[in-house]
Amino acid sequence: MSFSFGFSEEGEINAPKVDTNAVKAFMDSKMDISPDFMPKKYSFRKMLQRVMGKRLTYQPLQISADTQLLRRELYDVKHQLMGEDNLSATDELLLGTTNEDLKIATYEGGLKAWECMLDLTKVLEGCKWTQGSTIELGCGQGLPAIYLIQRLLKSGNSGKVTLADYNDSVLSLVTAPNVLLNLCNMLTVEELSSLQSSNEDTAEGQTRVQEGELDVTSALVDRIEQLLQEKGVEVEFVAGAWSPEFVRLVGQYSLVLASETIYSLDTLPVFTNTLLNITEAGGDVLVAAKKVYFGVGGGIHEFETLVTERGWSLDVVADIEDAGVARGVWAVKQ
């Protein structure tokens, strides 16, 4: 197996195997999905089209003493949206014209750097991962998956990483730019500087690129795509609702990641069925979450119930309490 967690079986929550057919039965179910949220695949370049020619502003996020990742500034996203016309309902939420952190079936909070996303990334630091296929569900900023992309590139091993989110706006404005920002660290300072040279794709009338800024040029995207191809690393994006259609579109993976995805009782069953269906035999699953989501009804107990009813079980990988918020990372096991 290409992935090792490095924890014992002592933390396992014993679960009776009840109905292993429930996971397969999900694939025969019919779901009413809005055309706007029918699952679709996108290439890296396609997801970067919305920021092509833009200057991104970013900041470093210290994950641990050994790991620092870059993420696009929230105000930079809002600044871009203010200059665009014909905004979607999701774009309006991202812009902040409403006061909602999330809106079910419209926007699932992908702009925020939720605590559990950082917890999951820290857990990945301590895991032995060499190669294979990985998908992050409800990725938002995508930092756990981005960490693994960097790890793949440095290891010299080939692999595939899919970043999936309900909203294509989140993928194009936040996730894909974050991937680009972090992969630029694989280039030398001199090469990155040369790819920032002014050309027709560079934002007009802007001053010289400063620390904490990146001009998204065609030349830069070409170079990053070349780097990925040379290393045998495939990066793709999927937007749309968890569903049988989603499962058929993406296939199965050796490692499945998710954080802050079990907060809603309404979406918990479809998330669980999707999660288990896209995990290949012998594959690994890591889910980071708060133990209780007050006000929305979800939490680890409800998730555990659905998982065990389907003949799977949970292992506690990390048990965390910070500022009075109990949360953790769990391995879902066949």
The H or E element containing residue 61 is: strand 55-62
Beta bridge partners of 325: 322
CA–CA gap between residue 152 and residue 132 (Å, rounded): 9
* Domain containing residue 60: CATH number: 3.40.50.150
CA–CA gap between residue 207 and residue 219 (Å, rounded): 19
- The pLDDT of residue 178: 98
Low-confidence ranges of the chain (pLDDT < 70): 1-20, 96-113, 130, 197-206
- The pLDDT of residue 113: 65
* pTM of the full structure: 0.89
Beta bridge partners of 265: none
Q: Which of 10, 8, 14, 11 is nearest to 308 (CA)?
A: 14
HSE-CB at 274 with a 13 A cutoff on CA atoms is 27
| Number of domains, the chain | 1
- The pLDDT of residue 20: 66
Q: How many helices (H) and strands (E) does the chain have?
A: 13, 14
6 Cβ neighbours under 8 A, 6+ residues apart:
126, 127, 128
Our CA dihedral for 224, 156, 251, 221, rounded to 10 degrees, sits at: 0
CA–CA gap between residue 322 and residue 118 (Å, rounded): 13
CB-CB contact of 3 with 284 (8 Å): yes
In angstroms, the Cα distances linking 58 to 64, 177, 212 are 18, 10, 5
- Segments forming the whole domain that contains residue 264: 3-333
Backbone torsions φ then ψ of 127, nearest 5 degrees: -100, 150
CB-CB contact of 331 with 11 (8 Å): no
